[in-house]
């Protein structure tokens, strides 16, 4: 199974607890309760799982205001002005066996939240002025979401899910919490912070013109791919440059797409003309960037996996799209012929990552079975070789851009190097103290970086495995921890 800590559970790292709007309403009783700002978020959290357009438990879909008032099999559940006569509220606070959410299915709605719903009904169960009663509430809530401004100093470390060296080989971009952070890795100094709408970055790739493509999301809420100019001018905050990638159009240069859940992986072809991104909606969206960012267009949506797409790579001059799936397979899609050409089933467990040789002669995949497996992208999905070595699940595999070398990262807290021609084991790189979710090579291929669950980042030299720098990439958190990992 997918370890809970991977991708889904935000608890430990999600420290910026957005103050529920509902509490704000309570603190200001004079202001009437807003349906969309105060009530809808409560319904989304407690009810939509069973009462949306898909599930409709009791034939009751509450994801639009109109449908909410209409109710289910028993008819209108809300009597405006009368919370005590409204089944809708009654079921939330019911002490009887029949409660909502059903007793065996979830916790009761917190008292303060039920009180807000009661107050809203008492005030007439009105919709906010200017809103369409037919509007999809999930979408309306998503539009209204305002990303929090990242704190100057993180009280807790943020998971590192993605890393990328800058094209000049001098800095490292790290996915933070609603931001990207840029580090001078020779000194371990934070130089730049780029605020993002996305809570987490899961995939980073520089385009040939130096712009940075970022795949990310907010677990279970939204996902997107946006492109940033991290060289744009920012504001100084105590020696660190702050770029507003949420609102500043000079920083956020392109918004390629967004979807209802996280986008988990991203790849750009060697010539920068194709960008592919996949995620929780099981699809990989492939964009044609050959006429520049301005004219970027969606070329195809590849729905080739039965579950989340966890990894992507583009090889053979844009001919092959390699994908890794939670459905326990690695696959090859012919981007030109628009056809599925290989399904590789040997992992028999979650496949987290894929990579391939640039010339298209070999594909590689890693997963929960702890194996690195290689196969032919143009063959029949037959395994050529498999090797073990990692002591736990393997999350990512990346190809060195300058030499036949692979790097893998694992839940065993290490990054390992491999010969891409024969899968002979190279160096095992240690220094990280938790699951290593992210790994990448520098553009020159001389350095490799790993990032872990506890915010740790280490940069190693490929040639001898020596550590260039180890630091915690959660801003301000550095001061409270020992940046050098304990020596064993
Ligand atoms: C885990 C699933 C689940 C969740 C979560 C859930 N419900 Fe239900 N709900 C049901 C099922 C199943 C029924 C139909 C059986 C019944 O009426 O008891 C139902 C029926 C209802 C009905 C009656 C509809 C009708 O016309 O018969 C109302 C009202 C209702 N739910 C309100 C809520 C509210 C409000 C919430 C959130 C606070 C909520 N439910 C959360 C499963 C759920």
Model confidence band, residue 381 (pLDDT cutoffs 50, 70, 90)? confident
- Give the separation between CA 308 and CA 323, rounded to whole angstroms: 10
Mutate which of 41, 47, 112, 118 for ligand 1? The one with the most ligand atoms within 8 Å of its CB, which is 47
Pocket-testing residue among 77, 91, 120, ligand 1, by greatest number of atoms within 8 A of Cβ: 91
> Each residue of 326-365: pLDDT tens digit?
999 999 999 999 999 999 999 999 999 999 999 999 999 9
> Greater confidence, 296 or 13?
296
pLDDT, tens only, 240-280: 999 999 999 999 999 999 998 999 999 999 999 999 999 99
For ligand 1, atom 1, the nearest C-alpha belongs to 105
Mutation choice for ligand 1 from 39, 43, 62, 101, CB with most ligand atoms inside 8 A: 101
Query: What is the CA(101)–ligand 1 centre distance, in A?
Result: 6
Length of the chain, in residues: 488
Q: Chain-wide mean pLDDT for the chain?
A: 92
Question: Is the model's pTM score more than 0.75?
Answer: yes
Ligand 1 centroid to residue 72 C-alpha, Å? 9
In this predicted model, what pLDDT tens digit does every residue of 218-243 receive, in sequence order? 998 899 999 999 999 999 999 999 99
- Per-residue pLDDT reduced to its tens digit, 63-110: 999 999 999 999 999 999 999 999 999 999 998 888 999 999 989 999
Task: Give the C-alpha distances (Å, rounded to integers) separating 374 from 288, 379, 406.
Answer: 28, 12, 11
* 51 Cα: distance to centroid of ligand 1 (angstroms): 7
Closest protein CA for atom 29 of ligand 1: 88
Nearest CA to ligand 1 atom 7: 101
How many CA atoms within 13 Å lie on the side-chain side of 343? 11
When pLDDT is cut at 50, 70 and 90, the band that residue 395 belongs to is very high
List the residue whose alpha carbon is closest to atom 35 of ligand 1. Answer: 88
Separation of 199 CA from ligand 1 center, angstroms?
A: 31
pLDDT at position 23 is 44
CA 62 – ligand 1 centroid, Å: 10
In angstroms, what is the span from residue 410 Cα to ligand 1's centroid?
Answer: 42
What are the angstrom distances between the C-alpha of 91 and each of 83, 103, 125, 144, 371?
Answer: 11, 11, 16, 28, 50
Measure the CA–CA gap between 40 and 191, rounded to whole angstroms: 40
At residue 29, the pLDDT reads 53
Query: Can you name the residues that pair with 182 across neighbouring β-strands?
Result: 173, 192
pLDDT digits (tens, 9 = 90+) for 400-425: 999 999 999 999 999 999 999 999 99
Could you tell me the CA-to-CA distances from 205 to 48, 208, 403 in Å, in that order?
Answer: 35, 10, 19
- Taking the centre of ligand 1 as the mean of its atom positions, its distance from the CA of residue 90, in whole angstroms, is 11
pLDDT surpasses 70 at 113: yes
The model's confidence at residue 478, banded by pLDDT at 50, 70 and 90, is low
pLDDT value at 55 more than 50:
yes
Residue 156: Cβ-neighbour burial (10 angstroms; 0-12, 13-18, 19+) = middle
The closest alpha carbon to 268, from 182, 204, 332, belongs to: 204
pLDDT for 231:
97
Is the confidence at residue 3, as pLDDT, over 90? no
CA–CA dist 454, 432 (Å, integer)? 9
How remote is the CA of residue 80 from the centroid of ligand 1, in Å? Answer: 19
Residue 379, pLDDT > 80, answer no
Statement: residue 6 has pLDDT above 60: no
Secondary structure (3-state) at 174? strand
Is 144's pLDDT higher than 50? yes
Ligand 1 pocket, Cβ-based, cut-off 6 angstroms: 46-47, 49-51, 57-58, 60, 71-74, 77, 87-88, 91-92, 98, 100-102, 105-106, 109
Count Cα neighbours of 203 within 13 Å in the Cβ-side half-sphere: 30
Quick check: 450 and 439 in contact, CB under 8 A? yes
CATH says 163-480 is which class? mainly beta
Query: For ligand 1, what atom is nearest to the CA of residue 105?
Result: 1
- Neighbouring CB atoms inside 10 A of 169's CB total 14
Q: Between 483 and 46, whose confidence is greater?
A: 46
Reduced DSSP (H G I as helix, E B as strand, rest coil) percent helix, strand, coil of the chain, to 5: 15, 35, 50
CB 406 within 8 A of CB 397: yes
Q: Are 414 and 430 in contact (CB under 8 A)?
A: yes
Atom number, ligand 1, closest to the C-alpha of residue 73: 26
Mean pLDDT of 147-154: 94
- Find out whether the peptide bond into 388 is cis, omega within 30 degrees of 0: no
- Within a 10 A sphere around the Cβ of 329, how many other Cβ atoms? 24
């Amino acid at each position: 199974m997918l370890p809970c800590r991977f991708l889904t559970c935000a608890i430990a790292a999600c420290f910026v607890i957005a103050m529920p709007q509902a509490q704000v309403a309570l603190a200001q009783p004079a202001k009437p309760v807003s349906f969309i700002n105060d009530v809808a978020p409560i319904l989304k959290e407690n009810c939509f799982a069973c009462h949306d357009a898909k599930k409709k438990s009791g034939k009751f879909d509450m994801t639009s205001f109109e449908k909410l008032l209409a109710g289910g099999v028993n008819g209108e559940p809300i009597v405006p002005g009368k919370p005590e006569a409204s089944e809708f509220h009654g079921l939330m606070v019911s002490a009887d066996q029949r409660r909502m959410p059903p007793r065996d299915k979830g916790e009761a709605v917190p008292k303060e939240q039920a009180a807000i719903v009661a107050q809203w009904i008492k005030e007439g169960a009105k919709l906010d002025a200017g809103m369409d009663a037919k509007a999809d509430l999930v979408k309306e809530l998503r539009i209204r979401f305002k990303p929090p401004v990242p704190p100057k100093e993180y009280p807790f470390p943020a998971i590192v899910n993605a890393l990328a060296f800058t094209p000049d080989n001098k800095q490292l971009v790290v996915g933070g919490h609603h931001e990207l952070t840029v580090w001078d890795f020779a000194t371990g100094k934070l130089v730049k912070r780029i605020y993002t709408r996305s809570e987490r970055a899961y995939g980073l790739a520089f385009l040939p013109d130096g712009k940075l493509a970022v795949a990310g999301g907010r677990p279970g809420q939204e996902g997107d791919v946006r492109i940033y100019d991290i060289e744009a001018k920012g504001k100084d905050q105590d020696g660190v440059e702050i770029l507003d990638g949420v609102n500043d159009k000079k920083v956020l240069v392109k918004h390629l797409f967004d979807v209802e859940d996280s986008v988990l992986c991203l790849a750009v072809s060697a010539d920068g003309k194709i960008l592919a991104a996949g995620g929780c909606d099981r699809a990989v969206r492939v964009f044609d960037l050959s006429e520049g960012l301005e004219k970027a267009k969606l070329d195809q949506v590849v729905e080739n996996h039965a579950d989340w797409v966890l990894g992507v790579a583009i090889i053979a001059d844009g001919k092959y799209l390699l994908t890794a799936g939670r459905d326990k397979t690695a696959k090859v899609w012919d981007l030109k012929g628009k056809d599925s050409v290989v399904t590789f089933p040997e992992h028999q467990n979650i496949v987290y990552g894929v990579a391939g040789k640039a010339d298209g002669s070999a594909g590689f995949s890693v997963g929960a079975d702890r194996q690195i497996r290689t196969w032919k992208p143009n063959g029949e999905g037959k395994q050529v070789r498999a090797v073990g070595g990692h002591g736990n699940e393997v999350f990512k595999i990346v190809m060195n851009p300058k030499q036949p070398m692979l790097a893998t990262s694992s839940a065993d807290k290490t990054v390992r190097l491999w010969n891409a021609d024969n899968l002979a084991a190279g160096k095992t790189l240690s220094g990280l103290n938790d699951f290593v979710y992210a790994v990448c090579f520098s553009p020159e291929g001389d350095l490799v970086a790993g990032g872990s669950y506890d915010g740790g980042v280490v940069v190693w030299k490929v040639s001898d495995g020596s550590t260039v720098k180890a630091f915690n990439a959660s801003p301000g958190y550095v001061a409270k921890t020992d940046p050098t990992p304990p020596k064993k």
